[in-house]
């Protein structure tokens, strides 16, 4: 075995900002050996799009002996290394970026990927790429990004940490084969946290018999007045699944959530095969994600996604290990179509809220199997 196959895989990290508790710190920081993590890969270059007053990147880079390059192209080229990089980690989350009229943070994820691909093309490389959370705030950008990755046959992994959390209690995933309804509980900002709930829902829904068939329509009621509760009264979403999912979250007050949270948001997802998906997004009632689903036999299963609320955020350690294994092996841990689909789901949901109506989504007829 030659020396090049013995050495750790080398990674270029492209981030919006690197500060305390940012996604860059809890992922790239681990890859640099911080937070008690023992990395199996080597970060050899860094690009930061912004440098806030509480920036950590300069101190960390100096301590670890890695350069911070002024451009993405230079970070990907990593000219100080004798051998080319083996992978790219893109963290387009956090930072001071504008918000559009639809309430979406305009993170430069397409620009990050586009500049990365131009440089990889120049170098003649097709190395694995991880991109944090959803592909882009704009679905047309996401389709372009996905198609460019596919055209180059570049292994791709995206998404967040929450779908990979342990389920408490555990359950027989065979119950998902005949899934007919699923409800996910979430909290926080509609796009930034709604995408976590979309990914949780999709990571379960994709396991139904026949695989994924795509999404027919999306509706988002944004929490103005009591729209969500009125829709429940009309039988438009299943109250029993909400109550079962809430029971899975520790510390939730023993009262009907209607009394505790007057204006939650409601996402309604109609799948092509008739499966129904719902997300109830609270503003303050909960801090974790849980779900309940009903299968074809009428059986209801509920569980908590066991994410941590405090440092060191073990769910990010699990995600980081998945990223490492992906870059080392070049094997995608799940179909990347999941990320394209959930990107479309959250994008059209924000469009639905802006336009005040249900949107038909024939372009989300995305099919895949695990």
Helix (H) or strand (E) holding 356: none
Please indicate, yes or no, whether residues 117 and 236 belong to a single structural domain of this protein: no
Per the structure, the count of domains in the chain is 2
What does residue 130 show for φ and ψ, rounded to 5 degrees?
Answer: -110, 135
- What pLDDT shows up at residue 3? 44
Mean pLDDT for all residues in the chain: 96
C-beta separation of 116 from 76 below 8 A:
yes
Q: Is 153 domain-assigned?
A: no
Q: What is the largest CA-CA distance in the chain?
A: 68
Q: Is 318 domain-assigned?
A: no
pLDDT at 250 over 80: yes
C-beta separation of 103 from 349 below 8 A:
no
- The span from the CA of 223 to the CA of 232, in Å, is 13
Question: The domain containing residue 194 runs over which residues?
Answer: 165-309+346-364
pLDDT at 22 over 60: yes
DSSP H helical ranges for 210-333:
227-233, 239-247, 257-260, 314-329
Residue 47, domain CATH: 3.40.50
Residue 210, domain CATH: 3.30.360
Take residue 78 and report the two structure tokens written for it: 């990593």
Domain boundary among 108, 132, 156: 132
Q: With H, G, I as helix, E, B as strand and everything else as coil, classify residue 142.
A: helix
Average pLDDT over residues 107-111: 98
Please indicate, yes or no, whether residues 114 and 238 belong to a single structural domain of this protein: no
DSSP H helical ranges for 206-336:
227-233, 239-247, 257-260, 314-329
Average pLDDT over residues 154-169: 97
Q: At what angle do helices 139-152 and 109-123 cross, to 10 degrees?
A: 20
Predicted TM-score (pTM) of the model is: 0.96
Take residue 291 and report the two structure tokens written for it: 């779900």
- Assess whether the previous peptide bond of 312 is cis (omega < 30° from 0): yes
What is the b/e burial string over 205-226, where b = at least 16 CB atoms within 10 angstroms of the residue's CB? bbbbeeebbbbbbbbbbbbeee
pLDDT at 204 over 70: yes
Per residue in 310-353, pLDDT (tens digit) is 999 999 999 999 999 999 999 999 999 999 999 999 999 999 99
C-beta separation of 194 from 349 below 8 A:
yes
Please indicate, yes or no, whether residues 173 and 264 belong to a single structural domain of this protein: yes
- The span from the CA of 93 to the CA of 16, in Å, is 6
pLDDT band at 225 (very low <50, low <70, confident <90, very high): confident
């Amino acid at each position: 075995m030659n020396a090049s196959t013995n050495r750790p895989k080398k990674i270029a990290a492209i981030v919006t900002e690197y500060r305390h508790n940012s996604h860059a710190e809890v992922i790239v920081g681990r890859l640099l050996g911080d937070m008690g993590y023992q990395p199996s890969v080597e970060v050899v270059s860094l690009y930061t799009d912004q440098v806030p007053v509480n920036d950590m990147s300069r101190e960390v880079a100096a301590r670890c002996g890695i350069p911070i390059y002024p451009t993405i192209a230079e970070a990907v080229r990593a000219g100080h290394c004798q051998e080319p990089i083996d992978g790219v980690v893109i963290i387009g989350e956090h930072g001071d970026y504008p918000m559009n009229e639809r309430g979406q943070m305009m993170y430069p994820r397409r620009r990050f990927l586009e500049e990365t691909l131009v440089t990889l093309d120049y170098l003649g490389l097709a190395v694995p790429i991880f991109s944090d959370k959803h592909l882009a705030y704009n679905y047309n950008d996401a389709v372009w990004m996905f198609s460019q990755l596919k055209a180059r046959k570049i292994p791709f992994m995206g998404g967040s940490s929450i779908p990979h959390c342990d389920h408490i209690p555990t359950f027989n995933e065979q119950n998902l084969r005949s899934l007919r309804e699923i409800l996910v509980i979430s909290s926080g900002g509609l796009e930034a946290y709604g995408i976590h709930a979309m990914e949780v829902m999709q990571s379960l829904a994709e396991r139904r018999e026949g695989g994924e068939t795509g999404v027919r329509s999306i509706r988002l009621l944004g929490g103005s007045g009591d729209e969500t509760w009125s829709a429940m009264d009309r039988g438009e979403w299943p109250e029993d699944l909400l109550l079962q999912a809430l029971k899975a979250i520790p510390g939730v007050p023993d009262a009907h959530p209607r009394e505790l949270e007057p204006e939650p948001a409601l996402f309604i997802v109609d799948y092509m095969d008739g499966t129904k998906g719902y997300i109830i997004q609270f503003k303050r009632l909960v801090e974790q994600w849980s779900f309940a689903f009903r299968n074809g036999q009428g059986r209801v299963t509920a569980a908590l996604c066991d994410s941590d609320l405090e440092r060191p955020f073990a769910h990010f350690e699990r995600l980081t290990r998945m990223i490492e294994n992906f870059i080392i092996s070049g094997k995608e841990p799940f179909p990347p179509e999941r990320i394209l689909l959930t990107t479309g789901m959250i994008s059209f949901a924000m469009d639905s809220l802006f336009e005040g109506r249900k949107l038909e989504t024939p372009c989300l007829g995305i099919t895949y199997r695990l």
